[in-house]
Amino acid sequence: MVDSMQTPDSRPSEPKPAPIPEGEPVLRAIAMPADTNPNGDIFGGWLLAQMDLAGGSLASQRSRGRVATVAINAMTFHLPVHVGDEVSCYCRIERVGRTSITIAVETWTRAREASQRVKVTQGVFTYVAIGLDRRPRPVDDETEGAPV
C-alpha cells in the first residue's frame, strides 16, 4: 500500500531539518530564578537586555569603538523562556550608515535536558557610534549607507 504522501516512484520524505539561527553567536547565558516575572517565566526585560548587550557587542566590534543604543525598531516575543534554559543571542548586521549600525538579533533557547534549540525572540536594534566627546562619530567612510 502506498502512503498518501508518497507516489509509487518516490521515497518517503526526509525529515525536515531543524531551523537554524541567522547570524553569528554573540552571547550565551543561563536564565536564573532571579530573572523571573510574577508568573514564573523569565522577565521580558531581562531577555531584551541580553539582546541589547549582544547587538551592542557586534556593533562595537564593527565600529571599532563605543556605541549607544538609540532605537529598538522591532521586537517580537514568540515563546516564553524558563528558568534553567540556555539563552543564546545570534546577531547579523543589517545596515551600516554614516554613524549608525542596525543589528538583527535572534534569541534561541535550549532546555537543560534537550539538544534542540527553539527561537523565542527576535528584534532589530540601532546603535550609534560614539566618539571620545560622547557625540556621534562616523562608523567608517567605506560603507556609508550600505547594507551588509
Per residue in 100-139, pLDDT tens? 999 999 999 999 888 899 999 999 999 999 999 999 999 9
Structural contact between residues 80 and 90, judged by C-beta atoms closer than 8 angstroms: no
User: Which residues pair with residue 76 across a beta bridge?
Assistant: 122
Residue-level pLDDT at 21: 83
Residue 69 and residue 57: Cα distance in Å, rounded?
11
pTM for this entry: 0.81
Residue-level pLDDT at 145: 44
Per-residue pLDDT tens for 32-71? Answer: 999 998 888 999 999 999 999 999 999 999 999 999 999 9
Residue-level pLDDT at 140: 82
Nearest to 103 by CA among 64, 65, 73: 73
Nearest to 40 by CA among 85, 86, 90: 85
User: Which residues pair with residue 125 across a beta bridge?
Assistant: 72, 103
What number does CATH give the domain 24-147?
3.10.129.10
Residue-level pLDDT at 9: 53
